[in-house]
Amino acid sequence: MIRKYLLPILAVFGIGFAILTVINGNRTIPAAPPVVEPAAPPFTSSVAGAGIVEANTENIAIGTLIDGVVSEIYVSVGTRVKDGDPLFKIDDRELKAQLTVRTMALHVAEAGVKVAKASLADEKNQLSRAEILASRQVISVDELDRHRYAVQIADSKLAQARAEVTSAKAQIKETKVNLDRIIVRAPVDGEILQVKIHPGEFAPAGITQTPFILMGDTDPLHVRVDVDENDAWRVLPLSPAVAFLRGNREIKTPLKFVRFEPYVIPKKSLTGDSTERVDTRVLQVIYRFEHTDLPVFVGQQMDVFIEAPDQLSLNGNNNRILN
């Protein structure tokens, strides 16, 4: 009797479990609340964009024209520097030795000029005597010509010696210029933002993936805002704009327009929104703000809202103008 009803009972339980599983699987999971409430636009109609804080000179990546081992670092993160202040120095022992060698080469070349001058004077003196003897037919014409050629050769040797002196001076000047260039100096007034080089490390010349020193003028700061190309036509230079600090919508500051970057570029700064398009191009708009009392640092992201007329109202005005 039990065996007769066991299988139907198990089948009913199985069907019930399957129905319960499907119901639970289709249940809508509520979205997790945001960690921090996002900033709300302060304008009735606005264009929103993601902004990156940067120095008003843009962030300057410092490199070196002369490769070598770093011997001294003159600055640290946060140091305020003036245009021309030293930042770091490449080891100069090889260049100093080269300068000594080239200075001695200059002395040798200058001595060669003196020898060439004396030789030329001697040849000219012998030519004068030969001309007197030739006029008396004491020596042949061929002998006189040899003295003339000797004077020309001596004159050419003097010119060569003088050229060697000029070349030696140019080489010394080159070494002195390189000695000056091994001390890397600040190109503008500003603040040191990063130092990624240390004494004893080799600094290659040219472009590097990570700059040795990152600096820029941070008074005032700039914020580079990416505006979607579809909204770029709505942004006007005199439109009010406000920036909110990411993570705290209570920290905000008004912005002042600086300039448009006239070249529209592919979007690089992604917000992580699931509906965000990655094939969008953006117009970069530069604003400035005073950060005296704001806890804002270069490289931080800000939510920026720019007051802009509503699309529908603009379309209506355009239609009335066309009509």
Instruction: Give the CA count within 13 Å in the CB-facing half-sphere of 82.
Output: 0
List helix spans (H) across 136-234.
Answer: 141-181
Question: Strands across the sheet with 190-195, in order?
Answer: 60-62, 213-216, 190-195, 80-81
Who has greater pLDDT, 318 or 99? Answer: 99
Instruction: Give 220-237 pLDDT, tens digit per residue.
Output: 999 999 999 989 999 999
Instruction: Give 32-70 pLDDT, tens digit per residue.
Output: 665 567 778 888 889 999 999 999 999 999 999 999 999
Q: How many residues does the chain have?
A: 323
Instruction: Give 256-277 pLDDT, tens digit per residue.
Output: 999 999 899 888 765 555 455 5
Res 187 pLDDT > 70 = yes
* Residue 320 pLDDT level (bands cut at 50, 70, 90): very low
Residue in this structure with the two tokens 């001596």, named with its chain if needed: 154
Predicted TM-score (pTM) of this structure: 0.73
Q: Which CATH number fits domain 46-56+218-312: 3.30.465.10, 1.20.1250.20, 3.40.1710.10, 2.40.30.170?
A: 2.40.30.170
Res 101 pLDDT > 80 = yes
CA distance 101 to 186: 31
Who has greater pLDDT, 285 or 31? Answer: 285
The domains of the chain are located at 46-56+218-312, 66-91+183-213, 93-181
CATH number of the domain located at residue range(s) 93-181 in this protein: 1.10.287.470
Q: What is the pLDDT of residue 133?
A: 85
CATH number of the domain located at residue range(s) 66-91+183-213 in this protein: 2.40.50.100
Q: Where are the extended beta strands (E) located within the chain?
A: 46-55, 60-62, 68-73, 80-81, 86-90, 183-185, 190-195, 202-203, 213-216, 221-228, 241-245, 248-260, 265-266, 281-289, 301-307
Computed over every residue of the chain, the mean pLDDT equals 86
Average pLDDT (299-309) is 92
Instruction: Give 116-147 pLDDT, tens digit per residue.
Output: 999 999 999 998 988 888 888 888 888 888 98
Q: What is the pLDDT of residue 319?
A: 47
Token code pair at residue 276: 């965000």
Q: What is the pLDDT of residue 321?
A: 41
Could you write out the DSSP letters of every residue in 208-247?
A: -SS-SEEEE--SSEEEEEEEETTTGGG--TTS-EEEEETT
Q: What is the pLDDT of residue 279?
A: 65
Residue in this structure with the two tokens 């400035």, named with its chain if needed: 288
